[in-house]
Amino acid sequence: MIEYWNPLMERMPVDELEKMQENKLKNLVNYVYQHSDFYKKRFDEAGVKPEDIQTLDDLKKLPFTYKSDLRDTYPTGMFCVPNEQLTRFHVSSGTTGKPTVVGYTKNDIHAWNTSLARALTSIGLGRGDIIQVSYGYGLFTGGLGLHYGAEEVGSTVLPTSSGNTEKQLDLMQDLGSTAIACTPSYFLFMSEVANQNGISIQNDTKLKAGIFGAEPWSEEMRSRIEEATGIKAYDIYGTSELSGPLCTECQFQEGIHIWADMFLLEVIDPETGEQLGDGERGELVITTLAKEALPLIRYRIGDITIINKEPCKCGRTHPRIMRVLGRADDMLIVRGINVFPGQVESVLMTIPEVGEHFMIIVDRVNELDTMTIQIEMTDEAFSDKVNDIIGLEKKVQAALKNVLNLAVKVELVEKGTIPRSMGKAKKVIDNRKL
């Protein structure tokens, strides 16, 4: 049976949804123009007034906003409400410059929880489920976001945060967690620790679902996780600027439903900024339709994806985004060829002897780019015979060449060499940027 959190909203006919979006967009442009000096200036510079926006098609007239705008107006220069109306802050890690600060009113938090309650319902979670939240708690949005979303939907939360993996596994068994929310990388690490301790996720726990996101991961990785652990692995997407973790796939696992009453989606050509059609791959741009503290207009997240407006088997009418390849700036250009780390993962995961952990190392040697992929063997395939090792390296090299059209060096490393991650994994070392 298909369950909905808010059936009327989730199955609203598309034309009604679009009418609602249009009204919300008109209100939004008036709201930001009145409440934010930043937006007023941005609109004035672009020569656009709120009354110019009457239809969804007029969205194109509005200027983009960027992560750099949030940094340039640090900490709260883009906010539309004074601090005393805020219920919470979250702050991004700021590894690539000044951190970005996101603020939430009570209504913003409620909308965030609602978004997740709809999503969790769509994957069959609710009352009676114990959701172990192993995303980091704190300034990162993952932990607290899932925490309150899980409470909203009526599940019981086990707020383990990330780390302390053996204890997590004990609690998972003792309290009977039925779902886990963490990065796919952390779940891989957790499964490895479980194996080392003789715990079978499939037989010794009640886990039935994983809510995995915050970093790119591939369909092939999904198959591996599902086969090895017997759980259903669901993709969850969000960014701190939009609130945090927000939307998941439904039970059919064919793209992530983005709630149209909360967000307006576009995909653009990253070079020209032109809107692309549904089904075309490009850079995701989102306009928030329901946020009070920090509404974002045509926000260039930078993630590469495809919008799918085809009806979904689940009956939800809200559009879907297909697996996110990563941010445009995660793309590596190696000898003129574009490579996303996720593409490498997709190829590696089809080779049974290759384990789940890998590292991409890019270098420049004598003016020429080189790419080395370090891999570990699975326990089942492990061999220390030179011939086997060379054979596997060649097999991986050929598979990568076939798909990426790029000659790479493959290096088999000892198990455990590649750093394990409890949060977002670092899968690339680009020495050209040092």
User: Whose Cβ is closer to ligand DLL: residue 78's or residue 214's?
Assistant: 214
Q: Which of 50, 103, 149, 326 binds ligand DLL (CB under 6 A)?
A: 326
Contact region with ligand DLL (CB under 6 A), list: 9-17, 54-62, 77-85, 210-218: 210-218
Could you give phi then psi for residue 7, rounded to 5 degrees? -55, -40
Task: Give the list of residues 6+ apart from residue 125 with CB closer than 8 angstroms, or none.
Answer: 131, 150, 153, 155, 178, 179, 209
User: Whose Cβ is closer to ligand DLL: residue 141's or residue 343's?
Assistant: 141
Q: Are 327 and 304 in contact (CB under 8 A)?
A: yes
> What is the pattern of x (binds ligand DLL, CB under 6 A) and - over residues 299-318?
--x-x---------------
| Closest separation in Å from C-beta 314 to ligand DLL | 18
> What is the pattern of x (binds ligand DLL, CB under 6 A) and - over residues 125-144?
----------x-----xx--
Q: How far apart are CA 318 and CA 253, in angstroms?
A: 14
Q: Does 184 bind ligand DLL (CB under 6 A)?
A: no
Contact region with ligand DLL (CB under 6 A), list: 16-24, 111-119, 161-169, 323-331: 323-331
| Closest separation in Å from C-beta 10 to ligand DLL | 20
> What is the pattern of x (binds ligand DLL, CB under 6 A) and - over residues 335-374?
----------------------------------------
The three-state DSSP-derived secondary structure of the chain is CCCCCCHHHHCCCHHHHHHHHHHHHHHHHHHHHHHCHHHHHHHHHHCCCHHHCCCHHHHHHCCCECHHHHHHCCCCCCCCCCHHHCCEEEECCCCCCCCCEEEECHHHHHHHHHHHHHHHHHCCCCCCCEEEECCCCCCCHHHHHHHHHHHHCCCEEECCCCCCHHHHHHHHHHHCCCEEEECHHHHHHHHHHHHHCCCCHHHHCCCCEEEEECCCCCHHHHHHHHHHHCCEEEEEEEEHHHCEEEEEECCCCCCEECCCCCEEEEEECCCCCCECCCCCEEEEEEEECCCCCCCCCCEEEEEEEEEECCCCCCCCCCCEECCCCCEHHHCEEECCEEECHHHHHHHHCCCCCEEEEEEEEEEEECCEEEEEEEEEECCCCCCCCHHHHHHHHHHHHHHHHHHHCCCCEEEECCCCCCCCCCCCCCCEEEHHHC
| Closest separation in Å from C-beta 51 to ligand DLL | 33
**Crossing angle between the packed helical segments 37-46 and 14-35, to the nearest 10 degrees:** 110
Enumerate residues 219-238 that contact ligand DLL by CB under 6 A: 235-238
Q: Are 184 and 212 in contact (CB under 8 A)?
A: yes
| Closest separation in Å from C-beta 325 to ligand DLL | 7
Enumerate residues 236-255 that contact ligand DLL by CB under 6 A: 236-240, 244-245
| Closest separation in Å from C-beta 111 to ligand DLL | 16
Q: Are 161 and 181 in contact (CB under 8 A)?
A: no
User: Whose Cβ is closer to ligand DLL: residue 70's or residue 80's?
Assistant: 70
Q: Which of 103, 124, 210, 216 binds ligand DLL (CB under 6 A)?
A: 216
Q: Does 29 bind ligand DLL (CB under 6 A)?
A: no
| Closest separation in Å from C-beta 142 to ligand DLL | 4
Contact region with ligand DLL (CB under 6 A), list: 172-180, 195-203, 212-220, 380-388: 212-220
Q: How far apart are CA 255 and CA 252, in angstroms?
A: 8
Q: Which of 214, 285, 334, 396 binds ligand DLL (CB under 6 A)?
A: 214
User: Whose Cβ is closer to ligand DLL: residue 256's or residue 347's?
Assistant: 256
Enumerate residues 84-113 that contact ligand DLL by CB under 6 A: 92
The count of chain residues that interact with ligand DLL, using the rule CB under 6 A, is: 21
User: Whose Cβ is closer to ligand DLL: residue 192's or residue 303's?
Assistant: 303
| Closest separation in Å from C-beta 207 to ligand DLL | 18
| Closest separation in Å from C-beta 74 to ligand DLL | 15
| Closest separation in Å from C-beta 67 to ligand DLL | 9
| Closest separation in Å from C-beta 270 to ligand DLL | 14
| Closest separation in Å from C-beta 248 to ligand DLL | 9
Q: Binding residues for ligand DLL, per CB under 6 A?
A: 92, 135, 141-142, 213-216, 235-240, 244-245, 301, 303, 324, 326-327
